[in-house]
Every structure is written in structure tokens, then in C-alpha cells.
């Protein structure tokens, strides 16, 4: 039987936690990497109109680029990379991934047709699959339980900083490039403005990879001494009453922010007459300010609930956030003018509150040996449902049921009601078994050597 002593780099009983300043430095480096990855991932949503026009593709085809092409490879590749992260250097896995997704993002800018763009988006998904499972595992070994939720929430801010930067900077890049002389590359010819935008956002990758060399691999803590703690499938199978409804609930609830992240730029351009730069500025500013604030508040809320004896704090907080999100998600596309923008602002805040809680929830009920793989399982289910199917379902409702591209907002509202309501039911089913798993996990959160 494998024991915790077989885990490389396990902490001894008297090993102190890393210093708080250095631990936060690591979080900032990981945050920078996450931000860059999300810029590379999100920039495509702002380019929907020029790509559709240049490559002559439909909304459904575009949804495959933003959803399935990325999410399928992202989730499948996550498992082997998570296995490596649970056993070897998490820093090394992340550095290799940064190099890969940067190269593939530049490749998106050189694509000449739907097939080429689909393949390079798959490559971006493979590269980015290395980051979050390894990053969450690293953060858990840098912070004790009482500060872990806040640290993970701060790392999660990278989604909204990256999305905001992609929308704001991407929109301005398109405007500048469109007005200036066209860039030409040997062997590729003249590039369209949307292609140049991909080359720009790929550029920071090598610098971030070098910064990751300053991150030390911490000693591993929270190691369980049970037979099922070495393999993810048996571990989840013995606790299925918590994991099955929980993972499905997170996947369904993430359809709301996932669908809006993919289709909100098109909604503002089609229904509110904005151009790419204006839509990018509006959405990017909301993501940067309001969604970031929501993420920070989520970490404090979880730690506050835990301090008053609620081991199910992440699930309780997520349920409240989803309940608050549904009205905003439904109202935003049905309102007009300033009212729609005010509702979108409220939605941005609540989406931030929802974002960090799923992975925090999972990380708090698995042992160290499985943290990266547990994160990969979460991303598999969540991304397949929220990223792979969510945008596609919205597009199908728009294309096949409403039969009007201008009604993309109505499609968002319909999908939000159904997905949000189902997720709340599943969260209620998961509460009691989750509490049992969280109480079990508290005994592991000691360095190797404690009883």
C-alpha cells in the first residue's frame, strides 16, 4: 500500500510554512501567468465579427472555436499534466505549458482558415491545461488552511484581469492596426488586424516563463495515509455523494459566466450598436474592477463562514452567488440602454464572487497527493459543460430556435435560467455529504509526522 512517505518533498512535523511575503510573491507570479493565459484565451471573443467576415463562418462554427476546440484539449490534456504535477516539479510543468500556449497563440494569428484556427486553438488548450491544477496545488503548500481560500481567490483574479485586458487592449489594438499600414510576414503575406492581435498577446509568454524560474517548489503538506488517497478515481468513487452533484452543479452554474464571457461582446455590438473597441472597453472595465472585487470578497466570505463553524462554507457561498446571478443574467439582455449596462455591472460583480469558489471547494476535501488531479477533474467536468457546451447551446438557441443573430441576448437569458436553476438543486444535494468530506480532510492538514 502506498503511504504518504512515498510522496516526494513531504514536509516534516517541525517544518515551518514558507514566509508570508515570499508566498504572496509566488501567488503574484502565478497570477501573472494566469492573466496571460486568459488574455490568450479570451481575445478570440472580441474578434468574433472580423473573424466571421474574413473566414466566412457561422455563429455555431465560431462557438466551436471559443468552446470545443479549446475546452476539449484543455480538459483531456489536464489529466496527464496533473499526474505529473502531483509527483514531480509543478514549476517545471507550468514553465513548459507557458511556452506551449504562447507559441500556439501566435499560431492562431497565422491561421488562414477555420481548420487552421481550430487546430491552433486546440494547441492553446493543451498548453494552458498545465497551469491551474499545478498552481492550486502549489498555493495549498504555501498557505495554511486559514489563509488558503484568500490566496486561491487572489490567483483566480487572473481570469478577470486577463479577460478585461483582452477586451480593452484587444479592442484598442484592432482599432490602431486597422488604421495603420498592414503587417506582412515572410511566408505568410499580409495579416489582417485580428491576426496581428494574436501576435501581440502571445509576446509576454517568454518573460513570464523566466519569472517562474524564481518560484521554489515547496514541501508538500496535507498528505492522507489511506489506500484511496493515491488514485483519483477510487477516491471520488468512495465519496460520490459529494463529488457527483457538486461537480455537475459547478459545471451548470459556470454556464452563466462562461456564456456571457463568450457572447457578451457580440451582444453589445449587435444589440447596442457598439464597435469592438467600445464593447471591449465597457466589458473589460467591468471585469477588471467589479469581477475582481467579487473574487476578493469570495475568499473573505469563505474564511468568515469557516471561522463560525461552517465546513461547507464554499458550497454555501456558491449557492448564494448563483441565486444572485440568475436575475442579473436574465435581465441584462432584456433591458435597454443604461439599464442594461447597470444590470451587466451587477452581473460582473456576482460572476467574480462565483469564480474562485469551485476549485477552493474541491481543494479543501482532497489530500495533497490528489490536489492537481482533483483540479483536473473539476476542469474536465466544468469546461466540458460550461465552456464546451455552454456557448454552443446559446448559439444553437440563437441560430436554430430564435433564428435571429440579433437575439443572442435572449438566448443568453433562456440558457441562464435553465442552467442556474438546475445547479441550485444540485448544490442542495451536495451540502451534507460535502460537510462530511470537509471534516475528514481537516485531519490531514498537518505536516508529515503529525498524528
Per 3-state DSSP, the chain is made up of helix, strand and coil in percentages (nearest 5) of: 80, 0, 20
Reduce the DSSP state of residue 149 to 3 states and report it.
helix
Write phi, then psi, for 184 (nearest 5 degrees). Answer: -125, 140
**Cα separation, 130 vs 80, whole angstroms:** 9
Radius of gyration (Cα) for the chain, nearest Å? Answer: 21
Nearest partner of 340 among 284, 413, 405, 394, judged by Cα: 413
Q: Which residues pair with 220 in a beta bridge?
A: 10
For residue 98, the model assigns a pLDDT of: 95
For residue 105, the model assigns a pLDDT of: 92
Neighbours of 347 (CB within 10 A): 27
Contacts of 181 (CB under 8 A, 6+ apart): none
Neighbours of 79 (CB within 10 A): 18
Reduce the DSSP state of residue 190 to 3 states and report it.
strand
User: What is the pLDDT tens value at each position of the chain, 451 positions in all?
Assistant: 333 344 455 554 457 788 889 999 999 999 999 988 888 877 777 777 778 777 887 777 877 787 678 877 887 888 899 889 888 889 999 999 999 999 999 998 888 888 888 999 999 999 999 998 899 889 988 988 778 878 888 888 887 777 777 767 666 666 666 665 666 676 666 777 778 888 888 888 999 999 999 999 888 877 766 555 567 888 888 888 989 998 999 888 888 887 776 667 777 777 677 776 677 778 778 878 888 888 888 878 887 887 777 888 888 888 888 998 889 888 887 887 788 888 888 988 988 888 778 878 888 888 878 888 888 888 778 777 876 677 778 778 877 888 776 677 778 888 888 888 899 999 989 888 998 888 777 766 554 433 2
Q: Does domain 15-218+230-442 have CATH number 1.20.1250.20?
A: yes
Cell of 37: 493565459
H/E stretch holding 256 reads: helix 255-271
* Total length of the chain: 451
Whole-Å CA distances, 166 to 126, 309, 313, 338: 20, 40, 32, 24
3-class SS letters over 360-423? HHHHCCCCHHHHHHHHHHHHHHHHHHHHHHHHHHHHHHHHHHHCCHHHHHHHHHHHHHHHHHHH
Q: Where are the alpha helices (DSSP H) in 308-369?
A: 313-331, 337-355, 357-363
Reduce the DSSP state of residue 182 to 3 states and report it.
coil
**Cα separation, 388 vs 67, whole angstroms:** 4
Widest CA span of the chain, in angstroms?
Answer: 68
Neighbours of 341 (CB within 10 A): 15
Contacts of 437 (CB under 8 A, 6+ apart): 239, 242, 365
Q: Which residues pair with 10 in a beta bridge?
A: 220
What is the sign of the dihedral through the CA atoms of 282, 320, 35 and 191? negative
**Cα separation, 223 vs 3, whole angstroms:** 9
**Cα separation, 168 vs 147, whole angstroms:** 32
**Cα separation, 14 vs 32, whole angstroms:** 32
Angle 368-161-20 from CA coordinates, rounded to 5°: 45
Contacts of 327 (CB under 8 A, 6+ apart): none
Cell of 299: 475568499
Note whether 295 and 156 are within 8 A (CB): yes
Residue recorded with cell 456558491: 318
**Cα separation, 378 vs 426, whole angstroms:** 15
For residue 183, the model assigns a pLDDT of: 67
**Cα separation, 19 vs 144, whole angstroms:** 11
**Cα separation, 216 vs 176, whole angstroms:** 40
For residue 414, the model assigns a pLDDT of: 85
For residue 73, the model assigns a pLDDT of: 83
Q: Hey, where are the domains in the chain? A: 15-218+230-442
For residue 228, the model assigns a pLDDT of: 57
Amino acid at each position: 500500500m502506498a503511504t504518504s512517505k512515498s510522496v516526494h518533498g513531504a514536509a516534516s512535523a517541525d517544518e515551518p510554512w514558507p514566509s508570508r511575503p515570499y508566498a504572496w510573491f509566488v501567488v503574484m507570479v502565478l497570477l501573472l501567468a494566469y492573466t496571460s493565459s486568459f488574455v490568450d484565451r479570451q481575445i478570440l471573443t472580441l474578434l468574433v465579427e472580423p473573424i466571421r467576415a474574413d473566414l466566412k463562418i457561422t455563429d455555431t462554427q465560431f462557438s466551436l472555436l471559443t468552446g470545443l476546440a479549446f475546452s476539449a484539449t484543455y480538459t483531456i490534456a489536464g489529466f496527464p499534466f496533473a499526474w505529473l504535477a502531483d509527483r514531480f516539479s509543478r514549476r517545471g510543468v507550468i514553465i513548459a505549458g507557458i511556452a506551449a500556449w504562447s507559441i500556439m497563440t501566435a499560431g492562431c494569428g497565422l491561421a488562414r482558415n477555420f481548420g487552421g484556427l481550430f487546430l491552433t486553438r486546440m494547441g492553446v488548450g493543451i498548453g494552458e491545461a498545465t497551469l491551474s491544477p499545478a498552481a492550486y496545488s502549489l498555493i495549498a503548500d504555501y498557505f495554511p488552511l486559514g489563509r488558503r481560500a484568500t490566496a486561491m481567490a487572489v490567483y483566480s483574479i487572473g481570469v478577470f484581469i486577463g479577460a478585461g485586458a483582452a477586451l480593452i487592449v484587444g479592442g484598442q489594438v484592432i482599432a490602431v492596426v486597422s488604421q495603420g499600414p498592414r503587417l506582412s510576414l515572410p511566408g505568410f503575406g499580409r495579416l489582417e488586424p485580428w491576426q496581428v492581435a494574436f501576435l501581440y498577446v502571445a509576446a509576454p509568454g517568454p518573460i513570464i516563463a523566466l519569472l517562474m524560474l524564481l518560484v521554489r517548489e515547496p514541501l508538500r503538506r496535507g498528505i492522507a495515509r489511506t489506500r484511496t488517497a493515491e488514485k483519483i478515481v477510487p477516491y471520488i468513487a468512495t465519496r460520490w455523494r459529494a463529488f457527483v452533484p457538486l461537480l455537475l452543479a459547478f459545471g451548470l452554474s459556470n454556464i452563466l459566466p462562461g456564456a456571457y464571457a463568450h457572447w457578451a461582446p457580440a451582444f453589445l455590438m449587435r444589440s447596442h450598436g457598439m464597435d469592438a473597441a467600445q464593447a471591449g472597453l465597457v466589458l473589460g472595465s467591468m471585469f477588471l474592477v467589479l469581477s475582481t472585487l467579487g473574487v476578493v470578497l469570495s475568499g473573505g466570505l469563505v474564511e468568515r463562514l469557516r471561522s463560525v463553524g461552517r465546513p461547507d462554507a464554499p458550497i454555501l457561498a456558491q449557492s448564494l452567488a448563483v441565486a444572485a446571478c440568475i436575475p442579473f443574467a436574465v435581465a441584462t439582455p432584456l433591458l435597454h440602454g443604461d439599464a442594461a449596462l447597470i444590470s451587466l455591472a451587477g452581473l460582473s460583480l456576482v460572476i467574480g464572487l462565483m469564480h474562485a469558489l469551485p476549485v477552493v471547494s474541491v481543494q479543501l476535501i482532497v489530500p495533497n497527493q490528489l490536489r492537481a488531479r482533483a483540479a483536473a477533474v473539476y476542469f474536465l467536468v466544468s469546461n466540458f459543460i460550461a465552456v464546451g457546451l455552454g456557448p454552443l447551446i446559446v448559439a444553437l438557441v440563437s441560430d436554430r430556435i430564435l433564428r435571429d443573430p440579433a437575439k443572442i441576448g435572449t438566448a443568453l437569458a433562456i440558457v441562464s435560467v435553465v442552467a442556474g436553476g438546475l445547479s441550485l438543486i444540485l448544490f442542495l444535494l451536495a451540502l451534507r455529504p460535502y460537510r462530511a468530506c470537509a471534516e475528514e480532510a481537516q485531519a490531514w492538514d498537518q505536516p508529515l509526522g503529525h498524528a
